[in-house]
Amino acid sequence: MTHLQHYLSENLEVPKESVTLCQESLKHIQVAKGTQLLQAGEICQYTYFVEKGLLRMFALDRNGKEHVIQFAPENWLISDRSSLYFNEKSKFYIDAVEDTEVLMLNSGFFTELSKLFPESADKIDLLLQKHIRNLQNRISSLLSETAEERYLNFLKMYPDIMQRVPLWMVASYLGITPESLSRVRKNLVKK
């Protein structure tokens, strides 16, 4: 669990043994490529911390087309927060893009952590605010940026994902067709 310990120590400034103290609020699992951790219509029970591997969150439109919402490589958290915290049926799927090691944090994990380490409460709130900022930036990007700008932002956010996922998933995340993504990439090479 060294990755989560390091993540919490770096981001929340809690001692590395904090994970051990919150042991009852998490579960370590190995997930095979293609395994779904969450399906639309289910209530999300966990926030997933990726120790090793890659997860993604996506939605299906009424025609069955996938729309990738988020990727979660190593040291990232991913969850359907609306479902997890408001007990709503999820509109999303979360699955493993690669064989993945995941720590499943129950909904009380961060609350328990902030009780044990009250000085971490502000940092936990800051993590939430950063997540909200990223979601707002993603919405703004999809509404107002060109495909090229979205692609360049994608490369900054996910520098190693291009080598790990099929191009159609990247195109789905960007809200464009795979053919459009190929054109964007070719145009950037020419520049």
CB atoms within 10 A of CB 25: 18
pLDDT, position 19: 74
What pLDDT score does 116 carry? 87
Q: Which domains does the chain have, with CATH numbers?
A: 2-119 (2.60.120.10)
In order along its 191 residues, the chain shows pLDDT tens digits of: 578 888 888 888 888 777 777 777 889 999 999 999 999 999 999 999 999 999 999 999 999 999 999 999 999 999 999 999 999 999 999 999 999 999 999 988 888 888 888 888 899 889 889 989 999 999 999 999 999 999 999 999 999 999 999 999 999 999 999 999 999 999 998 87
| Close Cβ partners of 26 (under 8 Å, ≥ 6 residues apart) | 4, 19, 103, 104, 105, 106, 109
Q: Are 40 and 91 in contact (CB under 8 A)?
A: yes
